[in-house]
Chain A
Amino acid sequence: MPKAGSGLSLDGLGMPLWLVVELTYKCPLKCPWCSNPVDFDRYRNELSTEEWKDLLREGRRLGSLQLGFTGGEPTLRKDLEELVDEANRLGYYTNLITSGVGLSPQRVRDLKRAGLKQVQLSLQSCDSELSEMLVGLDVFAHKIEIARTIKAEGFPMVMNVPVSRYNIDQTEALIDLAADLGVEYLEFANLQYYNWALINRADLLPTREQLKRSEAAVAAARERLGKRLTIYFVVPDYFDDRPKACMNGWGAIHLTIAPDGTALPCQEARLIKDIEFPNVRQHGLDWIWRESPAFRRFRGDDWMKEPCRSCDDREKDFGGCRCQAFLLTGDAANTDPVCSKSPHRHLIDDILVEAENRQERAGADALIMRARCRS
């Protein structure tokens, strides 16, 4: 997930400092904004335990430091503990990114013992009714139990809230819940509109008014809570006129491995249909990272077109997000249409106007929930 609000940018000296492994695309939940591919069910050919371990070793040799286990729901993999243990031994700072559905208190303890360093738990609402409507299953109470166990085991914890117009008005209540749970980091991840979120975009986008109230609630809470709770607010880029500095640049510090071993410069990149991404089953990671045409395609700025090519901001934002450029303009080498200098900016403005003019919040039946057999 491209995160504007977290971490800090640093020169990776050409190393993939952040490695993300998507252990599986499978998931019992049905979030209608899921960033997994719409045709996720086509990729069942998951890497084996040994293949993942080889990959982790290769990643360390290339200088990877931060490791995220995600998916789909990574806890569906029975070898999660074994992989965490291996990653820890190799010297990674290990993060688990989970909805909590595949965890039991015992499993949280086992992961702690295996050397897991941090857990990011997603929470979609602060009440069970809305939560069930948004994820399709009644899992709220279980998530809260898991959150408490994670804290009781002494993990630093990020509470991740994927934000849409359905839950944005709960900003304040979610902050209170996070403070009550004692989490260190709360991340309001305004949705990024790819894959499932793109299908449901018209219903999921918040209004400008909602966004303003939410930002004000965050600012007030930062003041009130100080160091006790760090709140990241990932800006919804549609509402901005500057594009996000996506992934710190293509092939700069991020490397994602999809369940089937496909190597990607970011988790969404396989939606760019005219690039063939290399697979760790066929190629060494070193070649993939340094030499493969897919990773070199948008590295640096030689590939840029106008207006980016002659813009002073190109080293700051790298021309924005390649996936968004592809999805909205049909060419991944175009300027991200979020940028006010993009000749396609009107596409974004039209969408925002539509969102402002919707009638009242649509019910759950308006949303297309994540499910199999869409392609």
Chain B
Amino acid sequence: MHSEGQLEPSDVMELNPNFHFRWEEPQQSHVLLYPEGIVKLNATAAEILEMCVMRGLTVAEGTEQLAHRYDGADLVSDVMQFMELAYAKGWIRPKS
């Protein structure tokens, strides 16, 4: 980790162990459950989490996999933006 809140493409992130990420049928969406809260994720956010956090890939590898899904679109800045938000909110952390 470099300066505060900044992520690098080579970082490997994991879900904060106090959080649970799952599909919630009644909400028809993915949610994050954690002490004192619930976050309902939109489809894009859920997809990024699933690919770039839950699989133990580096941020760059996850982004590349996602790009494949979308005909090679350039997703780097979108993914980074979301990942840094998720990091700032404490949803994810560097894998130790």
Residues of A participating in the B interface, judged by any CB pair closer than 8 Å: 6-8, 10, 13, 15, 17, 62-63, 65-66, 93, 95, 117-118, 156, 158, 184-185, 227
Contact = CB atoms under 8 A, between A and B. Distances in A.
B90 interface: yes
5 contacts: A6-B36, A8-B37, A13-B27, A66-B37, A95-B35
Given A63-B26, A156-B18, A185 B36 contact: yes
B36 to A, nearest CB: 4
B47 interface: no
Given A10-B40, A156-B18, A227-B90, A63 B27 contact: yes
Contacts of A7: 36-38
Contacts of B33: 65-66, 93, 117
Given A8-B39, A184-B18, A185-B36, 15 more contacts: A6-B36, A7-B36, A10-B39, A13-B26, A13-B27, A15-B26, A62-B26, A65-B24, A95-B35, A117-B35, A118-B35, A156-B18, A158-B35, A158-B36, A227-B90
Contacts of A185: 35-36
Interface of B: 18, 20, 24, 26-27, 31, 33-40, 90
Contacts of A6: 36-37
Contacts of B18: 117-118, 156, 184
Nearest to B20: A93
Nearest to B18: A156
B35 to A, nearest CB: 4
A8 B36 CA distance: 9
B35 A10 contact: no
A17 B35 contact: no
A95 B33 CA distance: 11
B38 A156 contact: no
A103 B88 CA distance: 35
Nearest to B93: A227
A63 B40 CA distance: 13
A131 B34 CA distance: 30
A184 B38 contact: no
Contacts of B35: 95, 117-118, 156, 158, 184-185
Most chain A beta-carbon contacts within 10 A, residue among B27, B38, B39, B90? B38
A62 B24 CA distance: 12
Q: Which 8 A-B pairs have the closest CB atoms?
A: A63-B26, A93-B33, A156-B18, A7-B37, A118-B35, A6-B36, A156-B35, A7-B36
B90 A17 contact: no
Contacts of A13: 26-27
Nearest to A226: B4
A95 B18 CA distance: 12
Contacts of A184: 18, 35
A93 B31 CA distance: 11
B26 A66 contact: no
A269 B27 CA distance: 27
Contacts of A93: 20, 33-34, 38
A374 to B, nearest CB: 32
Nearest to B25: A63
A65 B38 contact: yes
Contacts of A95: 35
Q: Which of B26, B27, B34, B36 has the most CB of A within 10 A?
A: B36
A17 B18 CA distance: 19
Nearest to B22: A91
Contacts of B37: 6-8, 66
Nearest to B31: A65
A290 B38 CA distance: 22
A93 B36 CA distance: 10
A184 B38 CA distance: 17
A252 to B, nearest CB: 14
Contacts of A63: 26-27
Nearest to B39: A8
A303 to B, nearest CB: 27
Contacts of A62: 26
Nearest to B16: A156
A181 to B, nearest CB: 15
A316 B55 CA distance: 39
Nearest to A92: B33
Nearest to B90: A227
A319 B38 CA distance: 24
